[in-house]
Amino acid sequence: MERERILQQAEEFVRQELGGDSSGHDVWHIERVRRMAERIARVEGADVFLCALAALLHDIPDEKLNASPEAGMKKLTDWLDAHDVEGDTRSHLLEIIATMSFKGGNRPPVRTLEGRIVQDADRLDAIGALGIARTFAYSGAKGQLSHDPTLPPREQMTAEEYRQGKSTAINHFYEKLLLLKDLMNTDAAKRIAEERHRYMEGFLERFLAEWEGQM
Ligand code: ADP
Ligand code: NI
């Protein structure tokens, strides 16, 4: 297995699979997560190749892009079979991606440094200026409003109201984006997250002030 070649082939696969996606998993998201994972891996002394490959493939089994979680994982394992990714690299990669794509509260903790790094890189892409842009793009694609001051905050909504799309881009900051800073695993990611978090707070303050006509 030649590493450079595997990475190039993974890039090609991701372009084919996610090329037209507008749910926030476009190829540029993947490219940014890959670069960020490599950067953190160097700082943390982790396996840069494994982080890059896991970052490239991390959204392939995502539930939003597949009929079922099993179908998504099969797409990934078929690709690994076809490209002779075997042994420890394969099992480590599958472990990272399977753990990362768990949604909700009962997520098992990510076990290895490489897994923690790719998770950090993915989460960093959801905050800061990029996170703001992705959130508004996603909300638009789902037909949600940017903001609706008459809506209750997420924690006061029923699950049914929430499923019906009665949320907004601004709500998403409170239900997710502002919580991510404290979920970072590595010190390198924590430092970047602090800065991006402050930027989002400044944005929200300004957005709500303009909304109220104060600026
Ligand atoms: P990830 O690749 O981080 O797992 P998700 O699939 O959860 O991302 O979401 C893709 C992008 O869309 C992220 O930037 C996320 O913050 C944003 N997003 C997810 N759910 C919502 C929502 N309900 N409203 C607005 N933006 C959302
Ligand atoms: Ni992602």
CATH code of residue 90: 1.10.472.50
If asked whether residues 180 and 138 sit together in one domain, one would say: yes
Q: At which residue do the structure tokens 């903790």 appear? A: 109
Kindly report the pTM of this predicted structure.
Answer: 0.92
Same domain, 1 and 103: yes
Q: Determine, yes or no, domain membership for 177.
A: yes
Ligand 2 centre from 157 Cα, in Å?
A: 26
Domain match, 16 and 90 both: yes
**Tokens encoding 153:** 């905050």
**pLDDT tens digit string along 82-119?**
999 999 999 999 999 998 866 655 567 789 999 999 99
Ligand 1 pocket by Cβ (under 6 Å): 24-25, 59, 64, 122, 126, 131, 134-135, 138-139, 167, 169, 172, 176
Determine the distance separating the centroid of ligand 1 and the alpha carbon of 152, expressed in angstroms: 20
Q: Could you tell me if residue 198 is inside a domain?
A: yes
Write the CB contacts of 129 (distance below 8 Å, at least 6 apart in sequence): 196, 199
Averaged pLDDT of the chain: 91
pLDDT digit string, tens, across residues 116-164: 999 999 999 999 999 999 999 999 988 999 999 988 777 777 777 776 7
- Point out the ligand nearest to the CA of residue 139: 1
- Nearest ligand 1 atom to the CA of 139 is 25
Q: Could you read off the pLDDT of 17-71 as tens digits, one per residue?
A: 987 666 667 899 999 999 999 999 999 999 999 999 999 999 999 887 889 888 9
Residues 7 and 89 in one domain: yes
Write down the pLDDT at residue 62: 87
The position carrying tokens 């450079």 is 4
Three-state SS string over 129-167 comes to HHHHHHHHHHHHHCCCECCCCCCCCHHHCCHHHHHCCCC
Domain limits for position 130: 126-215
Asked if the structure places residue 113 within a domain, the reply is no
Name the residue of 172, 180, 183 to mutate for ligand 1: max ligand atoms within 8 A of Cβ: 172
Is there a single domain that holds both residue 53 and residue 101?
A: yes
Cα 126 to averaged position of ligand 1 atoms, centre (Å): 7
Calculated CA dihedral for residues 91, 93, 95, 99, nearest 10 degrees: -170
Total structural domains in the chain? Answer: 2
CA of 88 from ligand 2 middle (Å) equals 23
Residue finishing a domain among 62, 79, 107: 107
List, in sequence order, the alpha helices (H) in the chain: 3-18, 27-44, 48-57, 69-82, 87-100, 113-124, 128-141, 159-163, 169-175, 187-211
Q: Cα separation of 99 and 162, whole Å?
A: 25
Dihedral angle computed from the Cα positions of residues 179, 25, 53 and 115, in that order, rounded to the nearest 10 degrees = 20
